[in-house]
Amino acid sequence: MASHHEVVLGPVSDDEGRWLAKALKDETFGGILLLAAAALAMIVANSYFSLGYSDLLGRNLSIGFLDLDMSILHWISDGLLAIFFLVAGLELKHELLHGSLSKPSQALVPVVAALAGMGLPILLYTLLVRGNADAHEGWAIPMATDIAFALAVLAIAGKSLPTELRAFLLTVAVVDDLGAISVIAIFYSNKTDVGMLALTIILLAIYWVTQRLNIARWYIALPLGLAIWWATYQSGVHATVAGIAIALLTRNHNRNGELLSPAEISEKYLRPVSVTLVIPLFAFASAGVDIRSFGLSQTITSSISVAIIISLVFGKAIGIFGATYLVTRLTKASLNPVLRWTDVMAIGLLAGIGFTVSLLIAELSYEDSPTLMADAKVGILAASLLASLCAVIALRVRARKIESWSVN
């Protein structure tokens, strides 16, 4: 290979390898919990306990002096899910400073692949639901990738595949998360309260100063983080945006002999909370669709459901594979010799697992229409299962080839 070529999905450094191994192990475990929680939600929502399930999630919890009055479902999706986005933001910052996004030449491929993997599904969805004005509200649903779910599938079906492939999936999904949270902030937030938005920016500036001055102890950072979340919620911007904003302002390099930076400490303590509590709880609260009243055949063949399935399964795979292929053909980048183009297609299929963020966008899009929300959620669940199945087949075929080569 010519020396002037930049290897796409090239070997990772020892430090990056250790960080990746820990992150991937945690996310994989989270994906398995997520699958179990989603399956339980579907069983409960279509059983004798259906009414109790929906009543519980719809019950309001108020904190009067903070002007907070939300249902349990909204406490989970607006409150707890901010922790999920905080961890995603910390992953993004790590990749920007130390990982595959730290060098522009290496960042080009996963960034372009992620953008194409968001853009093509949006375009497909918009074309497929044209003429249905109500369905257009959910245009951003198929842009998201669920990293925990996708990594769980990859861990189960592709154990013998190179770490570089997992690193590429993680990088694409992290960029994907940033795109999704940007779309939520701009297009799916309520009418903005300028005063509260200004307060949010001031609090974020104070947080940044505490990071710069090295006074970000947990007893300062935690109350400040909660204040930022509260101000963000009151401003009308979706409260999960607070998580990614805090993450991007958290210092990610060691200073004065520190063993761990504030970002690494935050990730160490918050990732287990996100993996074992936040993601499964959100899956249990959001994936439970009572399809008895709508009918599965009617729901899964609705224009919204079909558009989501096609956009996530085919749009993601074609977008990511096509963008990676074009960038390597049009630039000096080249694919790592240990990888095959079928591996890139498998990653594209895995990225079609939307789930967590897709379900959040579905709730924001169709909160006033239970029928449309049911159509969207069934579409997301079906697309995620179909994308998983296709990815498993592709990964197992590839893994068997690797195993047969190692035997020979």
Q: Looking at residue 295, what is its pLDDT?
A: 67
As assigned by CATH, the class of the 6-69+105-164+283-407 domain is mainly alpha
Question: Which neighbouring-strand residues pair with 334?
Answer: 7
Closest CA to 228 of 206, 211, 213, 250: 206
Q: Looking at residue 18, what is its pLDDT?
A: 63
Where in the chain are the domains?
6-69+105-164+283-407
**pLDDT tens string 323-350:** 999 988 888 777 777 778 888 898 899 9
| Res 1 pLDDT > 50 | no
CA angle, residues 82, 391, 301, in degrees to nearest 5? 80
| Res 3 pLDDT > 50 | no
| Res 2 pLDDT > 60 | no
| Res 38 pLDDT > 80 | yes
Q: Please, what is the average pLDDT of the chain?
A: 85
Q: In sequence order, which ranges of 98-193 are alpha helices (DSSP H)?
A: 104-128, 147-157, 163-187
Q: Looking at residue 8, what is its pLDDT?
A: 55
Cβ contact 157:396 at 8 Å: yes
**pLDDT tens string 234-287:** 999 988 899 999 999 999 888 777 788 888 889 889 988 998 899 899 999 988
Q: Residue 295 has what DSSP assignment? A: -
Q: Residue 101 has what DSSP assignment? A: T
**pLDDT tens string 154-201:** 877 766 677 777 778 888 888 888 898 899 988 888 778 899 999 999
Q: How many CA atoms lie within 13 A of 245 on its CB side?
A: 26
- Tell me the percentage of the chain whose pLDDT exceeds 70: 89
Q: Looking at residue 33, what is its pLDDT?
A: 87
Cβ contact 41:286 at 8 Å: yes
Q: At 238, is the secondary structure helix, strand, or coil?
A: coil
